[in-house]
Amino acid sequence: MSRSWDIKRAADALLAAEAARKHRSALTDEWPGLDLANAYRVQDEVVSQRVEAGESIVGMKLGLTSHAKQRQMGVSSPITAWLTDGMALNSGVALDTSELIHPRVEPEIVFVLGESLEGPGVTAARAMKAVSHVYGGLEIIDSRYTDFRFRLPDVVADNASSARFTVGTRGRRPEELDLALEACVVKINGDVIDSATGTAVLGHPGEALALAANSLSERQIGLEAGWLVLTGGMTDAVPTVAGDTVCIEFTHLGSITLQCA
């Protein structure tokens, strides 16, 4: 008789795929009963094992914050996932692509929280009052599933394809910026690949932060002062390989250059 699936087995399978740098089939191909509630339990087990191994939680990220991505996945709301210090890539440090499976990069607007924030009932205006500083950021996602093929519970369980992230060095106070109009340009090896503004993130990144606080409250989780929040990809994620130079240029938040080795 084949072994039945449960939270621990699913988390172990995803962590094993990451450690081996080998993609695998989507969990729902083998565990068709995996629902969203259990997918978040798998996600929490994954991060719990990371913490037991010595990593520390440093914040949260949002995924599927663009309406186009939501339509593609057949959902009406973004998802949340954990950030740990083991995922952080300091500015100027090269990305070792051999540590990953099939990395993709996307630009992000990043919040640093000056105070805790907990739902329900958080509005974008209230959320922005909790923000101490805003930075430009770059996230490297890396699904553990073959060809980035997954259903919604799969990607939630996989911690929203988390891999690495870099935060820029130019921080601004939120009141100094119009985040809906904050623009970015994505360049790979000097070629412009994509561009967007903050409106791509639910109309305003503050809406993403409010949504994170409210949705996390359903799991009795609050956003803590000092945490980072990656508010979601402003453009589609762009595949990258060793030898690439990725540059993200923001209007007011500086630029981030990532060398892929």
β-strand partners of 165: 88, 139
The encoded tokens of residue 147 equal 């060809």
Domain boundaries, the chain: 7-260
Class of domain 7-260 (CATH, top level):
alpha beta
For residue 120, say if its preceding peptide bond is cis, omega within 30 degrees of 0.
Answer: yes
The pTM of the full predicted model, rounded to 2 decimals, is 0.95
φ, ψ of residue 256 to 5 degrees: the values are -130, 125
* Helices vs. strands in the chain: H and E counts, helices first: 7, 11
pLDDT > 60? residue 2: no
Q: What is the mean pLDDT of residues 34-51?
A: 97
Report the sign of the C-alpha dihedral through residues 184, 186, 187, 191, in that order: negative
pLDDT > 60? residue 60: yes
Cα(199)–Cα(137) distance, integer angstroms: 16
Q: What is the mean pLDDT of residues 171-199?
A: 97
